[in-house]
Amino acid sequence: MAWVKMFKKPGGGLKKSYQPGSMLSLALTKGLLNEPGQNSCFLNSAVQVLWQLDIFRRSLRQLSGHFCLGDACIFCALKSIFSQFQQSRERVLPSDSLRNALAETFKDEQRFQLGLMDDAAECFENILERIHLHIVSDTASDACSSKSCITHQKFAMMLYEQFVCRCCGASSDPHPFTELVHYVSTTALCQQVDRIMGKNERLRSDMFGELLQAANNTGDLRSCPSNCGQSIKIRRVLMNCPEIVTIGFVWDAEQSDLTDDVIRSLAPRLNLSGLFNRVTDENAKRSELHLVGMICFSSKHYSAFAYHTKSSKWMFFDDATVKEVRNYIPTSRGHCFLQFDRHKIPDVVLPQHSVK
Ligand SMILES: [Zn+2]
Ligand SMILES: [Zn+2]
Ligand SMILES: [Zn+2]
């Protein structure tokens, strides 16, 4: 297990932590049950980061009308957990209703079935996709422009990709698509880190977006569409300004020795103009997003970290266990997943160094 040190900004923190009311707001952080054999840690982690995302929590609260699927309704199950987070006096709640709805909804695909472990990033992504379907009831999610669709209004990255030849100017047809999670290979990311270290350059935290972009473009070479003989790279262009950006790390092996390098490359801020080849939206060009959540996988188990806005604290969620993060934030091998918010400035910076 690797650990990353977190530190607070000079002058920040102490006074804020003892504001009256912060105990009350911390009481709103609750654990989620995971009984032996349930294997619900992937779902519990996804629910905790969703609940801690202010934009998501508030938007969901305002929605009531939806296409309901009764017992298999993910929308109702999520609403019910959220209202218990807010109203229940228990410190730990069951997530069974959502677990059941998810299993029922995906039974044909044999995904997220009861008792079986699954992938937290894909669970998160599928919950968002289902919310779109419950609100808009339209399977063409790439073109969704519904103002009430939290999924596409807040989380979607609207992109197109295109091959353009720098030599002769020929280009492929632009291919538009929508992403809820931007997946990046850790192997490719570490190659980019090595490339920078190889040039004896310092790894700066403001390079994080560019590193992710370079990693994402690695290997995407094609020969020029007009056959001029050049091999050309793919270009990904962002057309909107998402409120929340989610990065999913893909690990090539369950046991990876890249953990330290990946942790070293992480940064608490992300510029969208670094993450993509081009950004067309003016707000997106200017916006800097701040790390507000993270899901980690270690020893076949998921846990989550999330920034709790009201108390300005980072919290650690491991099923029933909820802890305030004071000094260290453990990271892990496996799928690590980061979430960036356009409006939040957490009072914590990450990571300084890692210790095995
Ligand atoms: Zn419903
Ligand atoms: Zn939608
Ligand atoms: Zn060409």
Q: Is residue 183 part of a domain?
A: yes
Indicate whether 182 belongs to any domain.
yes
- Supply the pLDDT for residue 341: 62
pLDDT higher at 138 or 120: 120
pLDDT of residue 325: 81
Residue 325 lies in a domain: no
Residue 5 reports pLDDT greater than 70: no
Least confident of 112-116, 144-148, 280-284: 144-148
Which strands, in side-by-side order, build the sheet including 354-355? 328-331, 2-5, 354-355
Q: Are 41 and 301 in contact (CB under 8 A)?
A: yes
Q: How confident is the model at residue 202 (pLDDT cuts 50, 70, 90)?
A: confident
Nearest Cα neighbor of 103 from 51, 49, 42 is 42
CA distances for 179 relative to 143, 159, 232, 304, 321, angstroms: 12, 8, 23, 22, 32
- What pLDDT, in 10s, does the model give residues 310-324? 888 888 899 999 988
Residue 268: band (very low, low, confident or very high) from pLDDT cuts 50, 70, 90: confident
User: Does residue 24 register a pLDDT over 70?
Assistant: no
Report the range of poorest mean pLDDT among 49-63, 167-181, 200-214, 332-346: 332-346
Please confirm, yes or no, whether 132 is among the known catalytic residues.
Answer: no
> Is there a contact between 28 and 318 (Cβ–Cβ < 8 Å)?
no
Residue from 66, 76, 134, 301 carrying the catalytic annotation: 301
For the segment 33-91, what is each residue's pLDDT rounded down to a tens digit? 999 999 999 999 999 999 999 999 999 999 878 999 988 899 999 999 999 999 999 99
pLDDT on residue 329: 47
**In this structure, is residue 196 part of a structural domain?**
yes
* Region of poorest pLDDT, from 3-12, 49-58, 260-269: 3-12
Q: Is 134 a catalytic residue?
A: no
Residue 281 lies in a domain: yes
For residue 71, the ligand closest to its alpha carbon is 1
Is the predicted pLDDT of residue 348 greater than 60, yes or no? no
Strand ranges inside 230-284, DSSP E:
231-238, 244-250, 269-271, 278-279
pLDDT tens by residue, 131-182: 999 999 776 767 788 999 999 999 999 999 998 888 888 888 999 999 999 9
Cα 229 to ligand 3 centre (Å): 6
Position 19 in a domain: no
Q: What pLDDT was estimated at residue 163? A: 86
Whole-model pTM?
0.84
Query: Does the pLDDT at position 231 exceed 80?
Result: yes
Instruction: Give the tokens for residue 81.
Output: 């957990």
- What is the structure's pLDDT at 152? 94
Q: In 3-state terms, what secondary structure has residue 180?
A: coil
**Rounded mean pLDDT of 187-196?**
89
How does residue 226 score in pLDDT terms, banded at 50, 70 and 90? confident
- Which residue range forms the structural domain that includes residue 279? 156-286
Task: Specify the pLDDT at position 237.
Answer: 96
Closest ligand by atom to 69 CA: 1
Q: Does the residue 128 lie in any domain?
A: no
Residue 48 CA to ligand 1 center (angstroms) comes to 20
Asked if residue 308 is part of any domain, the answer here is no
Say what the pLDDT of residue 179 is. Answer: 93
Nearest ligand to residue 130 Cα: 2
Cα of 145 to ligand 2 centre, how many Å?
Answer: 7
Higher-confidence residue of 104 and 342: namely 104
Percentage above 90 pLDDT, the chain: 46
pLDDT of residue 340: 67
pLDDT classification of 209: cutoffs 50, 70, 90:
very high
pLDDT of residue 21: 41
Q: Residue 272 in contact with residue 290, Cβ under 8 Å?
A: no
Round the average pLDDT of the chain to a whole number and report it.
Answer: 82
**How many domains would you assign to the chain?**
1
Q: Two tokens at 201?
A: 């350059």
127-150 core/surface letters (b: 16 or more CB in 10 A; e: else): bbbbbbbbbbeeeebeebeeeebb
**Annotated active-site residue in 41, 149, 190, 224:** 41
pLDDT of 14 above 50: no
Centroid of ligand 3 to alpha carbon of 58 (angstroms): 49
Q: Report how far ligand 3's centroid is from the alpha carbon of 278 (Å).
A: 20
